Amino acid sequence: MKNLLKIICLILITVCLLPKEVRAASFKDLTDETLLTEIDYLVEQDIVRGYSNTLFKPNEKVTKAQVAVMLTRALGLNTINIKNPNFQDVTTAHKYYKEIAAVQNAGIFNAVDKFHPDAMMTRGQMAIVLHRAFQLKGSDPYYFSDVTEQTPGYKEILTLAHNHLIRGYEDGAFKPNEPVTRAHFSAFLARAMTLTKPDLLKDPAFVYTYAHYSLSDNQRYTLNYQYDHHDGKNDVWTVQNVSTAQTFPNELLYGHDRIYGQAIASDATTHYDLYLELPLRLGVILHEDDEGVTSGVRVTVKTTNGTVQAGEVQYTGVVILEERSIYSDVVKTYYFVDGIGLVKELHNDIVVLELLNRTMK
């Protein structure tokens, strides 16, 4: 009997030590790596699951019932003593009755006679439900070639584009009447859940002290960053070595309602070393195939709510960005805190900049 108890305890311990989630990278049928960050997030949050440890079926079409389940989990909707929406085709015995009732009661789906739980969700319908679920705001004159004012979900599609949740296809189309796939809906949902518009600029009221490791001369410096003036476009920050009073090139920070940029003002032809469109959300926000001055660069938001240790401070709510370039083997990782700005920067695994403290002027 004692041996049996030992075996049972060993089994229980082993089960507890097994990983709880399957990472998206482990699904062998996920070949589009640009969506891995979003799918990983939903898997970790237990909002979406694979069909096995190796299959996700990214190209399978999503049904309305499956969308109801994912939105219920994502929003934490109440499914206890839920009010019956009285859909003719969804009885209380339906497998997903509670989730379907929850999303309808939340106003995400319309009150109609039939829900059609097995119907495929189109990309246009997806825009409408995400707009309602997350109460998204804003709109740009952003035009897809196949989206007009007569398109169902026209305003909602433009709002999702305004918030960088969708990009459309290479030919400029959005394909609003096409069924949405599991991979795409997962990506859109994860982006909506992690949407944020942080203030990435340094606060001019403070002097920032950073530990800096220079890869050019392999020297370590303690640097003070102090706001000097606004040049009509950028905040200009002077940079000085604390020990020697040696000055470094100024830092230029560009802040706009929809843009963040940072650069080293080493010459008159300055370009932004990091250039981001706001708001931010999980996943790839700049692809190396995109045209323009940033072509060849991929920027991925790894999280909008991370943690990091910088100096003696443990920061939460951290935006973590990863930058890769087809022209370099260096992977840059940036850690930003809302209202504070950059607190840490890594080049590969080397910490090149770390905020030690901020002091009021």
3-state secondary structure of 217: coil
pTM of the predicted structure, to 2 decimals: 0.90
d(CA 302, CA 63) in angstroms, rounded, equals 28
List, for residues 158-217, the tens digit of each pLDDT value: 999 999 999 888 899 999 999 999 999 999 999 999 999 999 999 999 999 999 999 989
Q: What is the SS3 assignment for 6?
A: helix
Report the b/e string of 292-320 with b at 16+ CB within 10 A.
eebeebbbbbbebebebebbeeebeebbb
pLDDT at residue 226, as a whole number:
98
Tell me the angle at which helices 36-44 and 182-193 cross, rounded to the nearest 10 degrees: 70
pLDDT of 23 above 70: no
Measure the CA–CA gap between 72 and 44, rounded to whole angstroms: 16
Residue 277 pLDDT greater than 80, yes or no: yes
Q: CA-to-CA distance for 214 and 86, rounded, in angstroms?
A: 66
Residue 30 pLDDT > 90, yes or no? Answer: no
When the pLDDT of each residue in the chain is averaged and rounded to a whole number, the result is 90
Is the confidence at residue 19, as pLDDT, over 50? no
Rounded to the nearest 10 degrees, how much is the dihedral formed by the CA atoms of 85, 86, 89, 95?
60
Q: For 74-107, what is each residue's pLDDT tens digit? A: 999 999 999 999 999 999 999 999 999 999 999 9
Identify the pLDDT of residue 18.
Answer: 35
Render 263-297 in DSSP notation, one character per residue.
EEESSTT---SEEEESSB-SEEEE-TT--STTTTE
The pLDDT of residue 291: 82
3-state SS track over 294-310: CCCEEEEEEEEEEEEEE
Q: Which of 48-57, 256-265, 283-292, 297-306 has the highest mean pLDDT?
A: 297-306
Q: What is the pLDDT of residues 45-72, one digit of tens each?
A: 999 988 877 889 999 999 999 999 999 9
Is 202 in a helix, a strand, or coil?
coil
Q: Which two tokens stand for residue 167?
A: 């990009």
Higher pLDDT, 116 or 27: 116
Contacts of 54 (CB under 8 A, 6+ apart): 26, 27, 28, 29
How much is the pLDDT for 245? 87
